[in-house]
Structure 1
Amino acid sequence: MKNILVTGGAGFIGSNFIHYMLEQEEDVSLLINLDLLTYAGNLENLKDIENDTRYRFIKGDIRDKALVENLFQQYDFDTVVHFAAESHVDRSIVEPEIFLTTNIVGTQTLLDAAKRHWKLEPGNKYSREYRQGVRYLQVSTDEVYGALGKTGMFTERTPLSPNSPYSASKASADMVVRAYHETYGMPVNITRCSNNYGPYQFPEKLIPLMIHNACHDLALPVYGDGMQIRDWLHVKDHCSAIHTVLTKGKIGEVYNIGGNNEKANLEIVRLILAELGKPESLITYVKDRPGHDRRYAIDNAKITAQLGWKPLYTFEDGIHETIQWYLGHTDWVERITSGDYQNYYRNMYDKAEPLA
């Protein structure tokens, strides 16, 4: 039976992963959710499992060395799945410092605690032996690879070339994880996913933002010409891929996780409007953000061939299900889009310069 530390478990992907693990994995003895509950962390995402005896929430910062150390001592984790991160590119352009400290220093704090508790001879710098069955999984992003041209796909061998403070912080964290494996023999994996969508996503991201605005007949802000292309991955497929890496992945390896669904932003916006029966006149083109990558695409051949994972959702089924989820959870959306989020929204979009 496993004791699992999930960081950032009150966020979008983390909360979906906790649901997945408690529903699908019989080998969970205890799952601790460590989350600071910043603007995107929401315990409402986990209301239906808060009384599960295998689950426990702890509010705290991954940069807090004393807290992280105490958690490892108290709960004797054998698995760490690290989601916690500042993750929105727009925010990183405005406030890069919080991204660098949370995403890099926070990762190093977790690695140090895991190394101290898992290493058989923690005082021996030459020892590379660890407890049987322990594993640290770093959840990263395809944005660390930079941007693609009109053709080609990111593979695990693609050089890292981040273009925003956010992606630079994630690439740096990935390199720290790799270094702990190479230097100390830490049993790690890194996963790099494409754009996620699905239930519980904070409404600053493209799909929930457009659904929310369209439902309220508000302008739908589209950067540039809207032809930025992303590979879209349903969050449930992402969760199943992470679980596959935890159970089957080779220690030290990186695995790309993609949904095989390349779509331009404008195509998605129009699809949402069509499903909701709203006019395309709601689309408002605004000045493109600095350093906006034009295209991402993930080659997931490695995880498919070596570990037997593949995405189950088509984009058409996934986006329909996602729209219906948001329509059925308008109370959740309305609570999320109040207060601080409204201030952020106005700062980001109301001041954006419309394109001629």
Structure 2
Amino acid sequence: MSKRVLLTGIGGFIGSHCLSHFLVNTDWEIIGIDSWRHKGISERLTDSEHYQKHKDRVTIYTHDLSAPLSDILIDKIGHIDYVVNFASDSHVDRSIANPVPFVLNNVNVALNMLEYARTVKPEKFIQISTDEVYGATDGKATHPEWAAILPSNPYSASKACQEAIAISYWRTYGVPLIITNIMNTAGEYQSSEKYVPMVIKKILNGEKVQVHYDPKSGEPGSRFWLHARNTSDAILFLLKNVKAPQFPDVDRPERFNIVGEKRISNLDIAKLIADVMGKPLDYELVDAHSSRPGHDPHYGLCGKKLESYGYKFPVNLLESMRKMVEWTLKNPRWLK
């Protein structure tokens, strides 16, 4: 039987990629919610060939999830098997510049979706979270699932809050929770304030690229990078293959790290982008602490748990980076 899936933040970068991936790889009916007031962009959907081909399976409702879903909207949405809660403000710099509304928004989004799940009782509820809740690494070690939570900025703190509230709803109300902590994701249709499109834009304009470095070691910061298709594919794998155990059968819900194939420095990513573009890279190393208080030079998650389930990402880093750079060069309006 075909499933009915609710994607929040469907007009966001990863949410829109997940929509396309689900449309291509399942026969599921997709219900989407977006406020279009934050970073959701309708063209991420309308410009997608997959959405245009399968839009008869998609229903989208406009609603700001910082407010509860009304009984009327819940009735319109109807039966839901799976919920994937993408909706959140996600830009670190904005969280630092104006933390109170940023944190309140993300906390309220989680609360209202968990209240919704408490009412409609889906089969699974995936709370999308970030590697940043665990804080920095030394550039070599990686955090396993359930490592200590040590957020470094208001954004990561707000995501840690979402996780904590979700865990409480899992234990108290039986919400069938799976938490995913996802490493840095890049791809087509991404906001130009994010690192990869920002680097593309600066190289195109002949501008100097600022690369954050670790002032203790003098080395550039590093991350594990994912293409949005890999992120979406991993989420689909979890929905299809992983059960959401309940308390008191276990003492905590399921949690999976979604990690790129290898750690790569921010400088090497910029060099890779420049190489794909066939242009020189003009860059400078900068101490991010001066412009981004609490910056973590290195992030890293351990992906062995997901691998142990037999999962493999469909595209590799070089292939996905080349694809997104070439697409962006053909669609420069997304760099504005």
Is TM more than 0.5 here? yes
Correspondence for 2:16? 15
CA contact under 8 A between 2:38 and 2:89: conserved in structure 1? Answer: no
CA pair 200-328 structure 1, distance change in 2 beyond 3 A: same
- 8 Å CA contact retained: 2:139, 2:222: no
Q: Distance in 2 between matches of 1:196 and 1:148?
A: 18
1:327 aligns with 2:324: no
Which residue of 214, 222, 226 corresponds with 2:211? Answer: 222
Report matched runs for 1:67-216 at 5 Å.
67=70, 69-76=71-78, 77-118=80-121, 134-216=123-205
Alignment partners' CA distance in 2, 1:269 and 1:54: 38
Counterpart contact for 1:33–1:56, Cα < 8 Å = yes
Residue 298 of structure 1, aligned match among 296, 301, 312? 301
Which residues of 2 match residues 191-340 of structure 1 at below 5 A? 191-224=180-213, 227-251=220-244, 252-280=253-281, 282-288=282-288, 289-306=292-309, 308-330=310-332, 332-334=333-335, 337=336
**Distance in 1 of aligned mates of 2:101 and 2:263:** 31
Amino acid in the other structure paired with 2:306: I
Counterpart CA distance in 1 for 2:77 and 2:146 is: 36
| Contact 2:5 2:81 (8 Å CA) reproduced | yes
Q: Which moved more, 1:199-208 or 1:294-303?
A: 294-303
**Equivalent residues of 2:106, 2:159 under 8 A apart:** yes
Please state whether the residue corresponding to 1:58 is helix, strand or coil: strand
What stretches of structure 1 of length at least 5 have no aligned partner?
119-132, 338-356
Contact 1:260 1:298 in 2 (8 A): no
Report the secondary structure of 1:65's partner residue. coil
Contact map agreement 1:81 1:136 (CA 8 A) in 2: yes
SS in 1 for 2:56: coil
Q: Is the 8 A contact 2:3 2:81 kept in 1?
A: yes
Q: Name the CA distance, whole Å, in 2 between partners of 1:231 and 1:153.
A: 10
Taking only the aligned residue pairs, the percentage that are identical comes to 32
Q: TM-score, normalised by structure 2?
A: 0.89
Given that 1:262 and 1:297 are in contact with CA atoms closer than 8 Å, whether structure 2 keeps it comes out as yes
- Most deviating of 237-246 and 147-156: 147-156
Contact 2:139 2:300 in 1 (8 A): no
Number of aligned residue pairs: give it. Answer: 315
Deviations, residues 27-49 of structure 1 (Å, cap 9, x unaligned)? x1x31211112352211111131
Q: Distance in 1 between matches of 2:139 and 2:208?
A: 29
Deviation at 1:17, TM superposition (A): 0.1
Give me the TM-score of the superposition, normalised by structure 1.
Answer: 0.84
Letter in 2 for 1:148: T
- Asked if structure 1 preserves the Cα contact closer than 8 Å seen for 2:145 and 2:256, the reply is yes
Name the residue aligned to 1:346. Answer: none
Matched position secondary structure for 1:53: helix
Query: Any conservation in 2 of the 1:86–1:98 contact (CA below 8 Å)?
Result: no
Report the secondary structure of 1:91's partner residue.
helix
Asked if the contact 1:261–1:314 (Cα under 8 Å) also holds between the matched residues in 2, the reply is no
Q: CA deviation at 1:135?
A: 1.4
Deviation at residue 324 of structure 1 after TM alignment: 0.7
Aligned to 2:299, what secondary structure does the other structure show? coil
Q: Match of 2:110, SS?
A: helix
Describe the SS at the equivalent of 2:55. Answer: coil
Determine the structure 2 residue equivalent to 1:45: 44
Gaps of 5+ in 2: 245-252
AA of the residue aligned to 2:18: F
Q: CA deviation at 1:3?
A: 2.1
